[in-house]
Amino acid sequence: MFFRIHHRLSYTYDRPVFLEPMALRLTPRQDGSQRILEHHLRLEEPPAGLSRVLEPDGTDAMVAWFQQERDQLTITVDMLVETLRSNPYDWIVTHREAQHLPVTYPEAEARSLAGCQKDRADPEVRAWAQAIADRVDGSATAFLSALADEIHHGFHHVGRLEGEPTDAAETLRTLTGACRDTAMLYVVACRSQGLAARFVSGYSMHHPPEVSEHELHAWAEVYLPGGGWRGFDPSLGLAVADGHLVLAAAPDHHLAAPVSGRYRGTGVGSSLTYLIRLQAADDLGELEASPQPMIPS
C-alpha cells in the first residue's frame, strides 16, 4: 500500500513568545513494515537550528530550537510511504511462556521491555481484562484480538481534537472514548496480563465513522517473541496491517506525540489548526496519475 500525505500544523500565539526546543515526530518509522520513499519537512520562518535525532524507543525525530520570539509557527510535511505488511498474522510465538496469560518473557527481552510492562492498572480494568482472558482460555494471541473486538463493538467511539488520553479506568467506566483513549485502555489491559504494550501515533487509510475528515490516529502495539511488535487498533477492531502508517511508538504517550514543546509568555494564549490530506492506493501509479494527488476524505 502507498500513502501520499500532506500534513500542516499552524500554531498561533496572542503575542510574540519564546519557543523552547521542540521535538517533531513527523518522520515515519522505517522497518520491515514500512519504508519512506519521499519526505519533506519544512518550518516557515526557519528555526535557529534543526537536528535529526534517534529517540529512546527508536523514533526518528527532529529537534528544532529558536532564538527569536514569534507569534506563529507553521510546520508542513509531505511524504510518500510504502507500507509492506499485508498479513498482520505472519508470525509465530517462539517462547512457550508467552503463549498463555499472564505472559512472561525471556530474561534479556524482559529487561529491554520493562518500560512497556510496568503499569498499575485500576482494579476494574484488571478484572475486565481478566474476564476477557478467561473467555479465550488464557491464549495470549486470542486475547489480543478479543480485546480489540470488545472495545470496537462495546464502546461509543467519539472524535476529540484536544487533550491527553483519558485515564483507562474512566474510559472503561463510560464505555466512551476517542482513538487515543481506547488505545491507552488497550495498552493498560495488556500490561495487566503481563504483555508488553505501547502507544502508537500515525495515520490510517481506514476512516473511523466518528470523524468527518482525516486526522492523526492512535492505536497500540504489543510485543510477542517471534512476532516482535505488532499493532492492534481497538477503535477499528482489527489487527494492523498495511492500512496503517506509524509515526512514533512509545511506552508513554507523550513520547509518541507528533509534536512536543513549550513556549514562554506570561498569560499568552495559543491555538492550533491543522490539515491532513491523505491518499492511499495499492499501486504507486494510481497516486502519480491522479490530477489531485492529495484529496481530503
Segment 169-191, tens digit of pLDDT:
999 999 999 999 999 999 999 99
Distance of alpha carbon 177 from alpha carbon 115, whole angstroms: 25
Segment 258-282, tens digit of pLDDT:
999 999 988 899 999 999 999 999 9
% of the chain at pLDDT higher than 70: 94
Segment 125-161, tens digit of pLDDT:
999 999 999 999 999 999 999 999 999 999 999 987 7
Measured from the Cβ of residue 226, the count of other Cβ atoms closer than 10 Å reads 11
**pLDDT confidence of residue 118:** 78
* Cβ-contact 172, 254 below 8 angstroms: no
**pLDDT confidence of residue 292:** 43
Distance of alpha carbon 172 from alpha carbon 15, whole angstroms: 40
Segment 24-36, tens digit of pLDDT:
999 999 999 999 9
Quote the pTM value: 0.92
Answer yes or no: is pLDDT of 293 > 70: no
Mean pLDDT of 218-243: 97
**pLDDT confidence of residue 162:** 74
**pLDDT confidence of residue 153:** 97
DSSP type of residue 38: E
CA dihedral in degrees (292, 62, 212, 154; nearest 10)? Answer: 140
Answer yes or no: is pLDDT of 38 > 80: yes
**pLDDT confidence of residue 266:** 86
270's enclosing H/E stretch is strand 270-281
Maximum pairwise Cα distance, the chain: 60
Answer yes or no: is pLDDT of 120 > 60: yes
CATH code of the domain made up of 96-241: 3.10.620.30
Distance of alpha carbon 154 from alpha carbon 176, whole angstroms: 9
**pLDDT confidence of residue 208:** 57
**pLDDT confidence of residue 119:** 73
Distance of alpha carbon 124 from alpha carbon 115, whole angstroms: 22
Name the residue among 285, 217, 259 with its Cα closest to residue 25: 259
Name the residue among 139, 109, 297 with its Cα closest to residue 208: 297
Mean pLDDT of 83-110: 95
Answer yes or no: is pLDDT of 94 > 90: yes
Segment 207-227, tens digit of pLDDT:
655 555 678 999 999 999 999
**pLDDT confidence of residue 287:** 85
Per domain, the residue ranges of the chain are 2-84+257-289, 96-241
* Reported confidence tier of residue 297, pLDDT bands at 50, 70, 90: very low
- HSE-CB at 134 with a 13 A cutoff on CA atoms is 6
Mean pLDDT of 279-287: 89
Helices (H), 12-122: 107-113
**pLDDT confidence of residue 296:** 33
Q: Which of 45-49, 124-128, 292-296 has the lowest mean pLDDT?
A: 292-296
| CATH 1.20.950.20 given to domain 2-84+257-289 | no
